[in-house]
Amino acid sequence: MATTLFVGVDSLGDARMIDRNTIERIVRSAIDELIENDRYLLEMDAQEEAVSGRLAAYIDKSDSIAGPLRVTTEYNRHGDAIKQLLLPRLNRRNGDWSVRNVRPDIIVHEPGNDKNNLLVLEVKKPGQPLHFDRVKLEAYLSQLHYAYAAHVVLGIRSGSVVRKIIWI
């Protein structure tokens, strides 16, 4: 997908654009910083929210995240309403779908509108199931018009760091 979004202006007043290669670089760099500076979170098997919070802070440091964009964790708002997606019911295989309240682990967006819904990330530890989060990520792309979505799998397995980005 060759999506490019307007994300504000730089110091010279020129429009700033962000593409998939740039967003992939931002996420990889943020993961590198987290592993370098906050590896103890992975070694302690800290809660997903602690890891997501630090990862969001490193994403926010990117010079490419500018203008109206904000990096937010566990953000459950869509304008003034609660953020909701039409999703399949858990543990049901008969095709039942329902509207569910959601709060993505990390988003990069312009609060208050859908004009610049740039990135949504779901962070998981190695070995955790990804299927339902994949369905949610696909729904963020199609229903709330995020440009990019990915799973970030981070943790320690058998003494080694596991770091995986699975783009949707």
The predicted-structure confidence for 70-120, as pLDDT tens digits, reads as follows 999 987 777 777 877 777 876 656 667 787 777 899 999 888 887 788 999
Question: What are the pLDDT digits (tens) for 130-154?
Answer: 998 999 999 999 998 999 999 999 9
Taking the C-alpha atoms of residue 118 and residue 110, their distance in angstroms, rounded to an integer, is 8
pTM equals: 0.85
Opening angle at CA 73, ends 8 and 125, nearest 5:
125
When comparing pLDDT for 99 and 32, which is higher? 32
pLDDT at 42 over 60: yes
Percent of the chain's residues with pLDDT above 70: 86
When comparing pLDDT for 66 and 151, which is higher? 151
Residue type, 136: K
Taking the C-alpha atoms of residue 130 and residue 132, their distance in angstroms, rounded to an integer, is 6
Residue extents of the structural domains in the chain: 5-167
Lowest-pLDDT range, 10-24, 106-120, 121-135?
Answer: 10-24
pLDDT of residue 79: 73
Most confident among 6-20, 60-74, 81-95, 120-134 (mean pLDDT) = 120-134
pLDDT of residue 93: 63
CB 162, CB 153: distance < 8 Å = yes
